């Protein structure tokens, strides 16, 4: 990588749009345990902007807009969790947010979400195999995760790294827009 002179230290915040701020705050604070850190009423009554502490100086933020259109599953966000259905989303959409969790708490956190009534996906052992998923743990598994959704269907993931990456892990040429399938217009 070229040194651009930017001292990027991680994410300040990731901002999304919710349909019900009260329900969103309840889920992220009372189910996931994040702390509400800042709330704003937006000018001219257009909505609200709330921030939650996501750990390590990072925040998760939500907008609630009085005039926001509804999301379109499969376009503005995945329809489902990997393992339960279609999880591809449109260009420029937010596909999912992965929260880093400690490996030793991974199973416990999954059970706690299930006990809280959250529908969680299967555990995924990500590896370098053809399917990129191992059914059993082995030294090539580099991250374990599972997916779930917030009340608006935003796809979330709890993930734990199992090894550090090295230069050998960067081996693929970035693809271009010209290599994509021709997009199909909605309603065609």
* Distance (Å) of CA 6 to CA 2, 3, 9, 62: 10, 8, 9, 26
Q: Averaged over 109-134, what is the pLDDT?
A: 90
Residue 125 makes CB contacts below 8 A (sequence gap 6+) with 133, 134, 135, 136, 137, 141, 144
- pLDDT(104) > 90: yes
Q: Which of 124-128, 143-147, 165-169, 182-186 has the weakest average pLDDT?
A: 182-186
Give the pairing of strands 58-65 and 13-17. Answer: parallel
Instruction: Output the six-digit token pair for 30.
Output: 């009372």
Q: State pLDDT tens for residues 32-52.
A: 999 999 999 999 999 999 999
What is the C-alpha separation between 34 and 115, in angstroms, rounded?
18
Q: How confident is the model at residue 188 (pLDDT cuts 50, 70, 90)?
A: very low
Q: Which CATH number fits domain 8-69: 3.40.50.720, 3.10.180.10, 3.30.413.10, 3.20.20.370?
A: 3.10.180.10
Query: Taking the domain 96-165, which CATH number applies?
Result: 3.10.180.10
Range from 133-137, 139-143, 152-156 carrying the lowest mean pLDDT: 133-137
């Amino acid at each position: 990588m070229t040194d651009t002179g930017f001292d990027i230290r991680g994410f300040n915040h990731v901002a999304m749009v919710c349909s019900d701020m009260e329900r969103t705050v309840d889920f992220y604070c009372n189910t996931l345990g994040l702390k509400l850190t800042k709330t704003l009423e937006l000018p001219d009554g257009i909505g609200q902007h709330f921030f939650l502490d996501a750990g390590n100086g990072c925040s998760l933020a939500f907008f609630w807009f009085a005039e926001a259109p509804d999301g379109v599953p499969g376009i503005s966000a995945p329809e489902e969790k990997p393992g339960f259905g279609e999880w591809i989303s449109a260009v420029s959409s937010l596909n999912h947010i992965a929260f880093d969790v400690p490996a030793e708490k991974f199973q416990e956190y999954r059970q706690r979400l299930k006990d809280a009534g959250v529908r969680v996906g299967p555990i995924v052992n990500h590896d370098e195999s053809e399917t990129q998923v191992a059914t059993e743990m082995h030294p090539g598994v580099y991250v374990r995760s599972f997916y779930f959704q917030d009340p608006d269907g935003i796809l979330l993931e709890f993930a734990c790294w199992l090894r550090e990456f090295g230069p050998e892990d960067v081996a693929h040429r970035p693809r271009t827009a010209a290599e994509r399938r021709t997009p199909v217009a909605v309603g065609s």
